[in-house]
Structures are given as structure tokens and as C-alpha cells.
Structure 1
């Protein structure tokens, strides 16, 4: 077992002065409006605006500064004083900009006017909104309806998302892939299968009551820093935290609370993880098997000695299905097999299980380290097995806690952005809007990318995001994307997706969430859903970056009005005037989730839309919690081979999704570059490599596609042998689009087969 005190000297705690310095540096780069401090004070508070970064919940009892380092960076980055006006294109063309970095593209500033691509000059030029909508609508009417994709990132509010999904269905398809397809779709599918709910089961009150966390493949220090305060509070009251992650993430090592003056002055660090287990990439099934085996053995011993059982047999008898088969699997799986697979000893796994056994209320937290694998759904099923053995689901202080990465990625699914028709109340849409919704399932983002490579996608419309950069198999996507007849990007800033225009291409600039959205009935609220299924209202008060900007909802309605047949019940023009009317439509479509929507959306802490699994109601095939018995001990989609490494893609401390704020990954000690490959020093020596040697990384999927990434330098890093790491999205070029979770099709970006050679 790796104890925190035994770790080599690290790069400093998460939080603390490092966070403030990181925020200050972005302030200096973006030179945001002087109004930014007032905006930050309103962030994540009732009547304020909800952070556009991660989806971590907003507490009812909020702090004076209810934002984290990354939330502040996101706000500063959007409130930049820089402007990317149409005049920018007088000195630049698309081909030249492809040599720019992602960071440099975004530093040009906020987009100020709608743009149309001119293939003759290879430049964008200003176009009026009316002309843009008319041209987009005219082209869409000529295309085969099944070849048009309506993608959405996790940024847009519930109102715009509901209308985006409605537009697609009125147009004639369910091609509604969303950013969750690339990250937590495994949660939506995997959890739904085993507990009957597609979202996590915990609420804020559970965080306050738990006495133990088990973390799997989640990094709060970078991806959800606001989680660090509840973790500190848990440690202060004596809770235990056990972490399983191939990478030693500083947020789960130590933390200095920036809002605690005494801690800041004294430098007092809260040690977060009591145990930190660096298992091999993709081996969580084996580790969880070992944890469960240790619990089962402890229960056997307790019963033999006449003591109280360790396993919650009453819970299993009342709520469990197929737990007998799973327990038999754990008994039959030998310790040497488990340990060989995950790289941990049986003593380490037993010590972790001992903490679990002694705890009364346990929360299992996970991120994309579980979801982004070929057998990611099995990972999630195994975590549920582990929690269920001691009844740690559906009671106070316990439960399953997936941490979503984008502010409204969960909520967009709730209001209809989904490619599966079984998830949508089509009858209600038919009655409300007097049209026949399409009945065939639409394209998932992976199937859309594959269809595009085959020339079977004619148009892609993107409600936010940077899809060309975010998708796997980047080189193949960049080749296929311009072959479309139409591409439409709704964006706040320039990004790489704009540099691969279709035959007709438009960039439509939108308001940010912090900005005033003035319509006929006044400044408009939008709403979002966080990771705990809480709904929050959000109101921007900052002046827009340009008078020509439109809201995401207004842009959606403009496209819909131009592209869909007239229908007196589809009041696109009217809906722009008052978003409360759209919320009434959401409530009419989803009455159980959104009862009294307009009246409740500004409640402190949000209002809960409910979750049956939280109440131990299991909407599964058996009506009970389904135990998962795995057929293999790792989640990878390939077998080991001599010279083959498992690559995990990672985000730095200085980015959010594909947005790169800068080149400081202070938690990993990497400054000034992202062109690195992190590697175990023994593996480096075996390949004859030394620190900073240039390397070439090749994909090793064996599917006949050449994948190659040059220009990287190898960096000695504390990783398990056989595991290497590189930055997302740069390493997407190595991720095969066909390597994905078997159930959800979520790309396997945390388990990519590669080979490494000295350049």
C-alpha cells in the first residue's frame, strides 16, 4: 500500500495559494471586464448565475465565494476583454489558423457577429442573422433527414436544450448525440441497468453524513475542485477516504482551503486520502473483486465465530438480485489472479476493505476513469456490487456518486436530448405540438463519427462544443468533417472545429451564461441540473460582449423556424420572448420531474427532481438491485502484448474539456508545454529512454488504421508499470473511434493500446 506520508515530495497541495495564483494568471491573460468580481460573487448562488464549468452541486448554505479555481477561470475566460471581430479574417485564413494552438485560438476573444465561410477566399465574413437562418434552413430542407446530426455540448440551459431536441424531432430524426456520449453515457446506461436510475443516488445531505468515501478514477483537484471542501469537512469529523487511481492526483492527496484564513496563513494542509492505491489502468474490476472478496471472507469469519455478520444480508434478501452468483464468483477467483491483474497485493486490498467494513455510511465516487473503457458498464456494476454488500445505497450518508464534468450535461438528457426513443415521452410531444415524432433511434456520437467517415452524414449542427477536437480518431474526423454539405457551430469563441468548415459553414456567436439575456419580457432566467439532480435558475447580469449576440435559445428558434414546416403549435418566435413559457412546456412534458418549475427554480440549493433508487425503489427488469458478475477482470478492449502500453488521456490543471486556459499543470510539475508523455521510469529504462527524450507514440489497436502522434517528450512520472499518460484532446488522435464501452459506446479514452519508440 502506498501511504500518503511515504510519497515522494509532491508539487504542493491543491487549493491554497496555488489556486489563487492560477486564477490571477488567467486574470492577467484575459483582462476581463472590471465587473468580473461582482459576477464571481454571484456565481452558484440563488438569484445569481450558475457556473459554466463542472456540474458539482450548489449548496443551500453557500459560502461567500461559492466558486473554485476552475470555475473562476471559466468565468474570467468568458469575460475577456478581447474580441474576435469579423475584421480578424482580413489578416487570417482557415488554412493558416490550423497551425495555431487551441489556446491561441481562444485568446483571440469573444466572437461578436455571425459568420459565413467563403471557400474561394478560405475566410469567414460577417453575415446577417436573417440571412444565416434563411440559408441554413434552405440547405437543411434539401438534405436527407437521417443524414443530419444535432449535437449538443453540456453548456446550454434546459430551455434551449428542450427546444433543440424538439427542433430535431420536428425536422425528422432523433440524431441527438450529446457530450455525455463521450464521458458519462456509461453511467446513464450502466447505472440504469443495475439500479434502475441513470444518475447517481446521493444528495448534499449524504455528503454531510458520510463517514467514508471510496474514490475510483475521479480527480476533484482538477475536474471538480468545489468537491474538496466537503472532503475536508469529512476529514475534520474523522471520516476515512480511500482512493484507487493509476495517477496520484494532488486533489486526493492534500488540500488547503482558500476560504479558511488560518489555513492560508499557516499553510495547514488537510490530508485527504488515508490510503492511495495506484492500480494498473483498466484494472478496477479486479480491484473491486478483491475488495468484495475480502468483505465476503470477513463475513465468513464473523459468522464462524458467532459474531454479527459483515454483509448486510437483510438488504441483499430484500433488494438484491443474483447476489448469490456474484458472491460465488468472488469466492472462486483466487487472490494471485486478482493481484496480478490490478498490480496491488492482497494485503493492500484487505486493508482498504477493512476501512470499508468499519465504516457505517460509505459513498462510492467515480469519474471517467471508470466510464471510458470498453467494459466501463461492468466497472460501474462492480462498484454498485461493492456498495450493496453492506447496504450502502439508498440510505443517509451512503450511495453511488458519479461526478459529471459539464454544467448541464445531465439536465440536457433529462429534457429530451437523447438518441434513444424509449427515453422520450413521444406521446406528450405529439399531443402538445401536433406532429408525429420520428420513431427510429438516432445516432450516438460514435455512430455519427463513423457514419461521417463513410460519407453518410450531410450536416452537423452543434449547440456549443468543439466536436472536431473532442472526438476520438482526430485525424480521420478532420479529413471527413469538411465533406459535409453544411456545418453550423454555435460558439462563444473560436475553436478548432471552425477550421474544418463544410461546403457551407456558419459560426453563430452566442451569449455566455453570465451575460444579460434581454428579451421582450425582460432579462431571462435559464436553468440547469447538477450532478445530484437538483434544478437551479441562473440569471446573467453582465453586459453582452457584443450587441449582435443572441442567446442559445434564440439561435435555436431562428434555425427551427427556417428549417421546419409551419405549425401553429410550434411558436418559435413567441418562445424567444419569455423563457418561462418554455419551462411550462418542459413541465407539461415531464410533470414528475418539473412540478411547479417556474415557482421552484430559485430555491436555495435548487429543487430535487427525484430519484427512485435513492428511496430503494429499483426500476430494473427484476425490480431489484441487479448484481453484476464480470466475465473478465479488466475493462480493456484488447489483450496484453509485448511492447504494448495502456495510455490514459488526462486533463491538466489549466483546462476545462477542450478549452486550454494555459500551460501550467502545477499538480504534475509540468510547465510551459502539453506535448509530453508521462511514463514509469523503469518502463523508460527498458526502452532505452531518458527523461525529456523525444518519442513517437503509435496506436496499437490492430484494426488496420495508422495512428501516430509525434512531437512528445517523455517525462518520468509516478505511474504503474505498463501505464502511460498524455493530455486530452491532443492524444485523441490515438483513440480509435471503434474502441468504446460495449453498452454505451462511450470511447475508451482511459484504456488506449499504444507503442512507444524514441524519435
Structure 2
């Protein structure tokens, strides 16, 4: 592709005909069954199937089509007509299958029967469920419990997640990392510290009342397209959206509603961002410091003039702690420092701050561009500081809204998937199940990988996901992965992680959420939690891909029953046969939030489980919302010298996490290979390169380990100085395992220090 075309980018808006064409392309590539269209008709609607893609809200009054491009792609991909049979898997060695790569592995279709790894032939071979559970249990019983990790991706529903956490603790550990560790754990840690809640404070209704939205490090066009509808409505009633993001993303620039006949024919797309500031990677701390500095300067003027204050002094006095210390830090920070660290001009930052000062109700929305940094927790603290200055938490139309990726990643944490004993319902476990849960904290994903590298982690049980591909430091981690004694994968399709089998390894195929799940107690439904802390029921109606599949809940229950001793309080068969019994347990475990769960989850719009910070109840050490004092102005852990860069890894428009639907990135105007590195034309010239050159990126974090990815095509793109951009997970080998947020250990994949080498 030529230099001119690359810089021109995609000329259409987010949504529109491009979105419909993207869905159709995935339907053809994935060879989905005709019944998939019937699933889309009820997707995210009361009484229907809740999307397995992102965690955006399911409104009580649904659109005609309540799915987005990526949600439709996820459903169509699940409901492929292709079948990955034992014969397909067994005719190739694992070494040969691994060479195919994730895209080709997933294109093989749905796994139809349980498989066992045969080390002698280096092949997966057909097995029975009885043999699988018996052999897995026997191996788990031989191992020291602390040496086993129970990982879960963010798709498993509340019922399976609750049993999975219970199983791990009955087995004897709290080693329950999940995909949150890889993305939004910084939110759980950072928000918990400053407002006492580990999740966002807004409800969906707040988006109908805000005057301004300050939007940091998140791309809705690719990662959560259904948010574009409320953003469009907000703009149309006068709300201003102020964006801080290194890339100019179409999903924040303009949107054409595919359900609006005028916009799809003679009308024009809706412009979204009133201001768009291309902040440097990690520069959000400095940018927000600048916003706060302008707020204080304007407040000083109002105070001197005797007019209405900019600061909400009554709120600050009643509800916050340490404001004076933060104010002193802001005043001591110069504009020169702010400009250098953020890459933005003072005029630009002040222009954005003026919108904040003139808005009565402001929502702060953010994604992993804010969290996946060495000092990501400080970035979140600064955003909360900004909101607190004008009382923008705990009132209608205002608050803090992290955008979650996986459909139930927040809900899994809610019902016990956590490595932290302080967040788990230990007293309820004792009361309900008559056992003493382990008191030692388990490990995060990063700590699991560290234990893998030092040989102390002996087994891995994965409830979904493709973790080995998603993690940092691929070369070191992948070398160690197959040395484990046992690996167990509960999955729907093959992926790279399955092709790194331990000495004993099993693939246990499961239903997808949209498929009929009939158990001994009849047809079952499951429940999930969205980013706004609302709980919804979901029921699948599609015929399962194979008669040999089990549900995730049934697999967890049968594995636990086979592994653990018999106890009259541990009713695994009953729970697997009737999921309402599991929901009764969830309600008894968390009575204030989940009472009458079986009834309330099927109400239109589900039910809100509540949030103390939303009510201005601050469960912090001080009993108030905490102003925090930043120690750095850029969240990246390593500074930039000349000829050195910060790499941002991201997803394409044809991708959901490690699942690749195709090799185009429509909304960025990129086609073909994913092995590219985006650079600004000025950076290309300074480096003595030209568009189309092939280069090697080398890790530049300062340790003695050489990390590199070769064969990357230089591609011009509009980016800030010192910034490179490439795709996740292809560039994960450049991220050191130790390079993570200091508080949460979330890998810092949005500001990876690298340099360029040429042949």
C-alpha cells in the first residue's frame, strides 16, 4: 500500500455501511450457520442472548438491532458451521498445528469432542469425558495445591465463575487470576484506593444527562461500538466530547447510525469529538495535571472577583481528603513540564479545561490506554482528582466509567474470581460449605508467569481464553509453558495455548453462550454483569455444535466432583443440573446485592447491584474520596531518548482480543498484513526510513534480555512524536514480564520502550 493511501486512512465514519459490510464479511469467512441471524435478532434484548463480546450495557428498551459490528462478529464466529473433529486434530502433530497460527486454528471450527495429548506421538487424540475427568482429578490430587493455577477469561458466566472460584478454594488455593489482570486490574486497584469502589460509578442513564465527556485511551469504534449510540445522542443534545488519545480513531470522530435510514442514505454522519488531543503514550497524567491547573487558575479568578466558584468547595470539604496537598502539587508543576510530558500545547490543554469548567455534569470515560502503563494507577488517580474538583462523582450525569472488554470480566470478580483474600467471601464459604478456605493470597497473571519461569507452578487449568498468546515476554514464557505437569483447557476452538501442552494435557470442549444448555433440570440460562454493575439473564437457543459438548458450568462441577472429597454440602450434581440453585448460592453469599437474583435478572434492563461511591459513600481508609499526589508526569516507566520510542499495542477492527476475524483494519484504513509498525512521516524521515521498509523492533527497557520482532513493514500514520503503534498480540514479545503497573501488575503494553533496527 502506498504512502499516500496509508495516510489517507478510512474515509467513511464508524458504523454506517462499512459496519454492515464488516459483519457480512465475517459471516462468509466464519461460515456461520443460518440460525445465527435469529440469534442476532434477540442479542442483548430482554429474554434473549447476552453478547459474549464486550461488557457494554443492555438497555431495558432495545433498538431493533441491539448488536454492534464486533458483537455480531463474535456471535457469527461462535456459530460457524465448521467442525474441528478428532480426526482433524489427530492427523497433525501438535508441532504442525502450532505452526498454523491462531487464525487458521480457529478457522478449523468448533471442537466437537474432548481430546487428550499423547506425548509419544505429539498428537491430541480422542478421549471420553469420564476418562478426562478421572485423569485430571488424579493428577490434581498428586500436586501441591499452591502449584496449580485456575485461570479464567472474561466470558464465563456468573454461575460457572462462582463454582470455579469455589472449586479452587476447596482444592486449596486462591490462584485465581483472570483476564482483568491483563487489562483493567489497574482500575480495580486504583479506583478502590481513591473512591472505595473497584468499578465505575456511572449508570447507563448518566450518559443521557452529562454536559461533557472527557474520553481517555479507548477506541469505541473497534472495542465497544454500541457506546456510539449514546455518544451520538449526547452530542445531538449539546454534550461536548473531549478526547485524549495518541491515535485519531474514527469511532471518536464521526458515527453513522446503521439503524438510521437518513444517515444511511442522504444524511451525514454525526461528528463526535469537539476536541481531539493526540497525547503522547503515558502523557495523560501531565495532560490531566494541566486540566487541573487551569481549573485552579480560573477558580482563583472567580474567588478574587467574588463570583461563583469553579471548584465545588462544599463537596471538596465534605467528601474529599488531601485536596490542599494536591493543589500545592499542581501549583508547583510548571506548564513547561506539562507540555513536555504530555506532548500537548498549553493552549490545547487550557481549551479542554475551559469546557470542563463550563460544564456542570462531566463523565470521565477511559480504556486500557490509561491503565496499561507502569504508572497507570496514578493516571486513574489523576482522572478521579479532576472529577472530584467539581463534585463530578455521585451525582446524575457525572462519574467515572471504565470501558470493560470481556463480556463478564467484571462479574467474575464480583462473584469470587480473585486472587486477593480480602475481596473473596471467605466467611460465607465457611458458613455455606463447611470448609476452611485458604488464607494466603493467590497470584496474579504476572505472578503466575513468574512462578512458571521459576518452575514452582506445575499445572494450569484455563476456563477459556488463549492466555499464552496474550501474555508478555513470549519467548521466555512459551519455553516454560510446556514444562508444566498438567494443562487443561476448557474451550470452543483451537488456539496457540493448546499447542503448548504440558506433560499431560486435555482440551475440554464447551457450549457457547448462544447455544441451548439443557441439563437434568431442563433448559438453563446464565447471567452476566456489565460495566455499569447491572446483572442480566441470558438464554441460548441454538442447537449445540456437537452432541458431545458440555457447558462450562457442567465441566467445572464434574471436574470438582472428581477431584475433591465427598461432602454432603457440596452438591455438584444438583448445581450442574439446575443453575438456579447456583444463583441461590450467589444470593446467599452476597445478599445485599443479589437478593431475588433468579427473578430480578430477567427484568428488562436487568438489575443494578449498587455502588457505594455512586451514593457518595466512600469505603476508603479516610472515609472520604482521596485526592492523590502524582510522583511522575508520564505514566511510562522508561523515558525516551533520541532514536528511542514508546510502542502502543492495540487491536484491529477485525479482532477481539486474541481472536482474529480477518487481516484488515478498516477504521484505520489498513489492509493485509498485521506485521506492520505505524510511525509518523516525520519520525520515518528522522530515522532515515521510508514507507514499506522492513525493520526489527527491539525491546529497550534496560535489562539484559534481547526481545525482538522482525519483518515489520514501516507504515506512515498520524501519531505524536516518539510514538510507534503495532498489533497485539504479535508485538507482545517486546513487553518484559516485569514491565507492568506498579500497583496492579497489569502489563504496560501501551507504552513499551523500543528502538528500531534495520537489516
Q: TM-score range by the shorter chain?
A: over 0.9
Q: Specify every segment of 5 or more residues in structure 1 that has no aligned partner in the other structure, as ranges.
A: 1-6
Counterpart of 1:455 in structure 2 is 455
Secondary structure of 1:98's partner?
helix
Specify the alignment match of 2:536 in structure 1.
536
Q: 1:489-527 CA deviation, whole Å, 9 max, x = no partner?
A: 000000010110000000000000000000011110100
> Which residue matches 1:3?
none
User: In 2 relative to 1, CA 483–78 (structure 1 residues): closer, same or farther, beyond 3 Å?
Assistant: same
| Distance in 2 of aligned mates of 1:11 and 1:374 | 35
Q: Tell me how far 1:427 sits from its aligned partner.
A: 1.3
CA contact (8 A) 2:9 2:668 kept: no
Measured in 2, the distance between the counterparts of 1:576 and 1:246 equals: 47
- Secondary structure of the structure 1 residue equivalent to 2:100: coil
Partner of 2:83: 83
Q: Check if 1:194 corresponds to 2:199.
A: no
Is the partner of 1:341 in helix, strand or coil? helix
Q: Distance in 2 between matches of 1:229 and 1:639?
A: 38
| C-alpha contact (below 8 Å) 1:115/1:506 kept by paired residues | yes
* Residue range with higher mean Cα deviation, 88-97 or 230-239: 88-97
Contact kept? 1:687, 1:757, Cα under 8 Å = no
Kindly state the Cα deviation for residue 10 of structure 1 after the two structures are TM-superposed.
4.6
Structure-to-structure mapping, 1:234-249, within 5 angstroms = 234-249=234-249
Matches within 5 A, 1:167-566: 167-566=167-566
User: How many angstroms apart in 1 are the aligned matches of 2:677 and 2:668?
Assistant: 12
Q: Distance in 2 between matches of 1:362 and 1:354?
A: 12
Alignment-derived partner of residue 592 in structure 1: 592
- 1:20 corresponds to: 20
CA drift of 1:648 comes to: 0.7
* TM-score for both structures, normalised by structure 2: 0.98
Query: How far, CA to CA, are the matches of 1:321 and 1:209 in structure 2?
Result: 27
After superposition, give the CA deviation of every residue in 1:622-650 in whole Å (9 maximum; x if it has no partner). 00000011011011112333322100110
Measured against aligned partners, the alpha-carbon deviations of 1:715-738 in whole angstroms (never above 9, x if no partner) come to: 001110101011001111111110
- The answer as to whether partners of 1:81 and 1:109 remain within 8 angstroms in 2 is yes
Deviations 1:476-498 (A, max 9, x none): 11111000000000000000101
- The answer to whether the 8 A contact 1:699-1:735 is kept is yes
**Secondary structure of 1:264's partner?**
coil
Give the structure-1-normalised TM-score.
Answer: 0.98
Alpha-carbon displacement from aligned partner over 1:648-669 (angstroms, at most 9, x marks no partner): 1100000001000001101111
2:243 is paired with a residue whose SS is: strand
Q: Is the 8 A contact 1:697 1:754 kept in 2?
A: yes
Give 3-state SS (helix, strand or coil) of 1:664's partner: coil
Which string of whole-angstrom CA distances, capped at 9 and with x for unpartnered residues, describes residues 11-70 of structure 1? 321000000000000111122111111110110011101000000011111111000000
**1:267 Cα deviation from its structure 2 partner:** 4.7
Q: Is the 8 A contact 1:11 1:668 kept in 2?
A: no
SS at match of 2:592: coil
- Alpha-carbon distance change, 493 to 267 in structure 1, aligned in 2, over 3 angstroms: farther
Structure 1 residue 9: Cα displacement: 6.8
1:545-576 alpha-carbon deviations (Å, 9 max, x no partner)? 00000000000011111111111111111211
Q: Measure how far apart 1:89 and its partner are.
A: 2.5
Q: Distance in 1 between matches of 2:706 and 2:454?
A: 17
- The CA deviation at 1:8 is 6.5
Verify the 8 A CA contact 2:339 2:345 in the aligned structure 1: yes
2:601 matched residue in structure 1:
601
Distance 1:532 1:557 in 2: 29
- Number of paired residues? 753
Residue 3 of structure 2 corresponds to which residue in structure 1? none
What's 2:62 paired with?
A: 62
3-state SS of paired residue (1:330): helix
By how many angstroms is 1:592 displaced? 1.2
Q: Is the 8 A contact 2:640 2:722 kept in 1?
A: no
2:698 touches 2:755 (CA, 8 Å); kept in 1?
yes
- How far apart, CA to CA, are the structure 2 residues paired with 1:659 and 1:12? 25
Work out whether 1:576 is the aligned partner of 2:592. Answer: no
Q: Work out whether residues 689 and 758 of structure 1, in 8 Å CA contact, stay in contact via their aligned partners in 2.
A: no
**Shift in alpha-carbon separation, 1:738–1:9, aligned structure 2, 3 A:** closer
- Distance in 1 (alpha carbons) for counterparts of 2:126 and 2:85: 9
**What's the secondary structure of 2:731's corresponding residue?**
helix
Q: Matches of 1:604 and 1:97 in 2, distance apart?
A: 45
Listed one character per residue, the Cα deviations across residues 418-439 of structure 1 (whole Å, up to 9, x for unaligned) are: 0000111211101111111000
The aligned residue for residue 659 of structure 1 is: 659
The aligned residue for residue 745 of structure 1 is 745
Alpha-carbon distance in structure 1 between the residues aligned to 2:46 and 2:281: 40
Match of 1:134 in 2: 134
Structure 2 unpaired stretches of 5+: 1-6
